[in-house]
């Protein structure tokens, strides 16, 4: 959530950033924020002035009573009753204005970093780098949705029977591959200094609002309506919310967490080859890394996280590229996002497997996540997160890119976890 002071003090910069995102009615919305803020402050001044008057009258009444001027004291007591009623009305008005302001701020996305390119869709994203050679597959090679049937490692029909479309059942060596990847990602994260946590996979409304899934993505999450809980779309939500309403010390930075969770997304169901098989699911496994950073160090942390994810892809021997997302393709809460995509040789297309984002203080403002400086002042921290990695499209690329006449070759780094090197 943007700070009102930021909007007021940097109006043109904020407006330019929101226009880069193609945010509709940006200027009118920002003016509305400032109008509500002014109304809130004016109401507060009126309330404070009346409260000061009430305190002054109370002192006068006390003095008169001590001086034996009871009749005079009684005359001005009626004014205190009037003031109490007026203060109550002003408090209600203040609370209503503050709620309206908060709800309006919830609708405004984060301001993009200056390096974010303009654009409306994924076609306008900027390629930062490409790594690795595109594999040449032997004749008769197939996409992963055919391979999983041939090797009987993932069963979509059984998943439909149990739950519905988008909930696959991993079997035998397919389940082993899932477990191998999760353990590999977690082990690599620990080596890189991340502290492992295993958070809940259901969160409350406060957590959803804290990281920005609510109200922006309410329709995209599965909800346990009886308890007002939500199945998480990513481990970012519970891990980042561990620090909601927390005041850190400046010496605590950087804070680096990693966690594995299943993830759930309602919007996954659609048709077409681009979402066949493992390309888009309602339930999938992911290892997430989360940084809580000092504001002066958050972009250095972002580059570190990007390099870390790239290192995982190199170890998995997958060709990949890094994209800097344009204003129109960025997530609602992000200030700068890098997407990592691996190349699927059988599908002849790039598949997104990770997003690494810096949210600056946007989430921290919602979370009330602060730190205490050396001179005892409190400031908002910066939050970052990244997929390291999401499993389904990694599995798809491993299966498709490593087809040989003998079978499917497994990446060398996974063999100790798998116990086999050829499927």
pTM of the shown model: 0.92
Name the DSSP letter for residue 371: E
So what's the pLDDT on residue 64?
80
Helix 144-151 vs helix 391-401: crossing angle, to nearest 10: 80
The answer to the question of residue 111 being in a domain is no
409 is in an annotated binding site: no
Check residue 274 and give its pLDDT: 59
Q: How many CB atoms lie within 10 A of CB 242?
A: 17
Q: Does 359 lie in the same domain as 268?
A: yes
234 is in an annotated binding site: yes
Q: Mark whether 127 and 81 lie in a shared domain.
A: no
Residues 97 and 217 in one domain: no
Is 97 in the same domain as 134?
A: no
Tell me if 267 is assigned to a ligand binding site.
yes
pLDDT of the chain along its 423 residues, tens only?
A: 999 999 999 999 999 999 999 999 999 999 999 999 999 999 999 999 998 988 888 888 788 877 777 777 777 777 788 888 999 999 999 999 999 999 999 999 999 999 999 999 999 999 999 999 999 999 889 999 999 999 999 999 999 999 999 999 999 999 999 999 999 999 999 999 999 999 999 999 999 999 999 998 888 999 999 999 999 999 999 999 999 999 999 999 999 999 999 999 997 544 444 578 999 999 999 999 999 999 999 999 999 999 999 999 999 999 999 999 999 999 999 999 999 999 999 999 999 999 999 999 999 999 999 999 989 999 999 999 999 999 999 999 999 999 999 999 999 999 999 999 999
400 annotated to a ligand binding site? no
Please indicate, yes or no, whether residues 134 and 72 belong to a single structural domain of this protein. Answer: no
Give the pLDDT of residue 74. 72
Check: CB of residue 211 under 8 Å from CB of residue 367. Answer: yes
Q: Tell me whether residue 197 is annotated as binding.
A: no
- Tell whether 112 is covered by a domain: no
- Grouping H, G, I as helix, E, B as strand and the rest as coil, residue 358 is strand
Let me know how long the chain is. Answer: 423
Taken in order 130, 315, 350, 305, the sign of the CA dihedral is negative
Question: Residue 111, annotated ligand binder?
Answer: no
* Pair 387, 233: CB distance under 8 Å: no
> Do 211 and 257 sit in the same domain of this protein?
yes
Please indicate, yes or no, whether residues 134 and 198 belong to a single structural domain of this protein.
yes
Do residues 274 and 353 share a domain?
yes
25 and 57 fall within a common domain: yes
Domain boundary among 43, 72, 106: 106
Q: Known binder of ligand: residue 372? A: no
Q: For residue 197, what is the domain's CATH number? A: 3.30.930.10
Three-state SS at 112: coil
Contact residues for 327 (Cβ-Cβ < 8 A; gap 6+): 17, 20, 21, 22, 112, 116, 117, 118, 119
Number of structural domains the chain divides into: 2
126 and 43 part of one domain: no
The per-residue DSSP string of 324-335 comes to: EPPTTTS-TT-S
The residue segments making up the domain with residue 55 are 4-106
The pLDDT assigned to 154 comes to: 98
The answer to whether position 230 is within a domain reads yes
Q: Which of 73, 106, 139 is the last residue of a domain?
A: 106
Give the whole-angstrom CA distance, residue 401 versus residue 409: 9
> Of the residues 106, 135, 158, which one is the last residue of a structural domain?
106
Other CB atoms within 10 A of residue 358 CB: 25
DSSP symbol at 408? B
Confirm whether residue 265 is marked as ligand binding.
yes
Same domain, 142 and 66: no
């Amino acid at each position: 959530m943007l700070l009102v002071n930021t909007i007021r003090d940097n109006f043109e910069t904020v407006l330019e950033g929101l226009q880069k995102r193609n945010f509709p009615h940006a200027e009118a919305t920002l003016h509305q924020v400032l109008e509500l803020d002014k109304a809130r402050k004016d109401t507060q001044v009126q309330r404070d002035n009346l409260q000061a008057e009430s305190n002054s009258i109370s002192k006068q009444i006390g003095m008169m009573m001590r001086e034996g001027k009871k009749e005079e004291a009684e005359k001005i007591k009626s004014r205190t009753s009037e003031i109490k009623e007026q203060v109550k009305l002003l408090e209600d008005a203040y609370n209503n204005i503050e709620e309206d302001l908060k709800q309006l701020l919830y609708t405004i996305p984060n301001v993009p970093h200056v390096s974010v390119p303009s654009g409306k869709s994924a076609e306008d994203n900027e390629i930062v780098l490409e790594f690795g050679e595109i594999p040449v597959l032997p004749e008769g090679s197939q996409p992963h949705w055919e391979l999983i049937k041939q090797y009987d490692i993932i069963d979509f029909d059984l998943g439909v029977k149990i739950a519905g479309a988008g909930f696959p059942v991993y079997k035998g060596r397919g389940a082993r591959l899932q477990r191998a990847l999760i353990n590999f990602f977690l082990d690599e994260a620990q080596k890189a200094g991340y502290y492992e946590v295993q958070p809940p996979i259901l969160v409350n409304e406060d957590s959803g609002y804290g990281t920005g899934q609510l109200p922006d993505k309410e329709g995209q999450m599965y909800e346990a309506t009886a308890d007002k809980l939500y199945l998480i779309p990513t481990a970012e939500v519970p891990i980042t919310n561990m620090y909601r309403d927390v005041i850190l010390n400046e010496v605590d930075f950087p804070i680096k967490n990693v966690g594995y969770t299943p993830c759930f997304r309602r919007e996954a169901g659609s048709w077409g080859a681009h979402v066949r098989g493992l390309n888009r699911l309602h339930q999938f496994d992911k290892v997430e890394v989360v940084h809580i950073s000092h504001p002066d160090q958050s972009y250095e942390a972002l580059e570190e996280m990007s390099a870390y994810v790239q290192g995982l892809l190199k170890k998995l021997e997958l060709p990949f590229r890094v994209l800097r997302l344009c204003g129109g393709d960025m997530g609602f809460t992000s200030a700068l996002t890098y997407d990592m995509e691996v190349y699927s040789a059988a599908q002849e297309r790039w598949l997104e497997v990770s997003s690494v984002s810096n949210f600056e203080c946007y989430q921290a403002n919602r979370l009330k996540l602060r730190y205490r400086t050396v001179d005892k002042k409190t400031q908002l921290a910066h939050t970052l997160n990244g997929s390291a990695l999401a499993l389904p499209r990694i599995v798809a690329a491993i299966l498709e890119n490593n087809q040989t006449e003998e079978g499917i070759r497994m990446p060398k780094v996974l063999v100790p976890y798998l116990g086999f090197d050829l499927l």
